[in-house]
Amino acid sequence: DGGITQSPKYLFRKEGQNVTLSCEQNLNHDAMYWYRQDPGQGLRLIYYSQIVNDFQKGDIAEGYSVSREKKESFPLTVTSAQKNPTAFYLCASAGQGSWKTQYFGPGTRLLVL
Amino acid sequence: AQSVSQHNHHVILSEAASLELGCNYSYGGTVNLFWYVQYPGQHLQLLLKYFSGDPLVKGIKGFEAEFIKSKFSFNLRKPSVQWSDTAEYFCAVTSSGGSYIPTFGRGTSLIVHP
């Protein structure tokens, strides 16, 4: 059953703590993306990767970091430098080409304690 | 840089009413256009997309969208909505000359009353 999985579904972060959100895909897609979804603001791009071992900053990369060591995996770390981390985080993947559809995971909701 | 504007942030309709959600983009070159839908508690998923050919595109669940290049628009339509169409709808654009990174609109929340 192909698709994208994200874990955990809910994540709680304490002040000053780094947390990592998992994203795995078995669609054999080259490109992977992380978005942040806030009410009324749509999807804002945090980071993206078009190939293993390479990634680029999106529009709101400050306070976040990523890695892409394997084609299937694109974890996102929310660092303590991110001052407003409470949001819904979506991971997506796509094949190469501007006409390619993005496939999204179920999302992780991050809450700050 | 490309941008996407969705004019209607919240739409409330009764069942059987007709729907049109506006989407305008700013980019002068060749574009690919998408509508994604997020039903309550479900993954964001593709509704329909345009990349070439017939500018009238038909998608799932009776939705369609028309690409009007002269107006930089890709409005989503459905002649008769159902309660199950209650969802958030996002318009997105990619450009062939760019890095294939989609730009999303802010989304439109649609509520359909039974």
**pLDDT tens per residue across span A31-60:** 999 999 998 888 999 999 999 999 999 999
Which residue in this structure is represented by tokens 């945090």? A46
Residues B67-95 have a mean pLDDT of 95
CB B15 within 8 A of CB B82: yes
The token duo for B31 is 């574009």
The CA distance from B114 to the nearest CA of chain A, in Å, is 25
Contacts of B107 in chain A (CB under 8 A): 40, 42-43
Picking from A12-16, A41-45, B46-50, which range would have the lowest pLDDT averaged per residue? A12-16
The CA distance from B14 to the nearest CA of chain A, in Å, is 23
Contacts of A59 in chain B (CB under 8 A): none
- Band of residue B13 on the pLDDT scale cut at 50, 70, 90: very high
**Per-residue pLDDT at A97 exceeds 80:** no
Looking at residue A70, the DSSP 8-state letter turns out to be: B
Percent of chain B with pLDDT over 70: 96
Q: Could you tell me which chain B residue has the CA closest to the CA of A57?
A: B101
Q: E strands within B1-114?
A: 3-5, 10-14, 19-21, 24-26, 31-38, 44-50, 56-58, 64-68, 73-78, 87-95, 103-104, 108-113
- Band of residue B29 on the pLDDT scale cut at 50, 70, 90: confident
Of A33, A45, A98, the CB nearest to B96: A98
Q: Could you tell me which chain A residue has the CA closest to the CA of B104?
A: A43
Bridge-based pairing of strands A10-13 and A108-112 is parallel
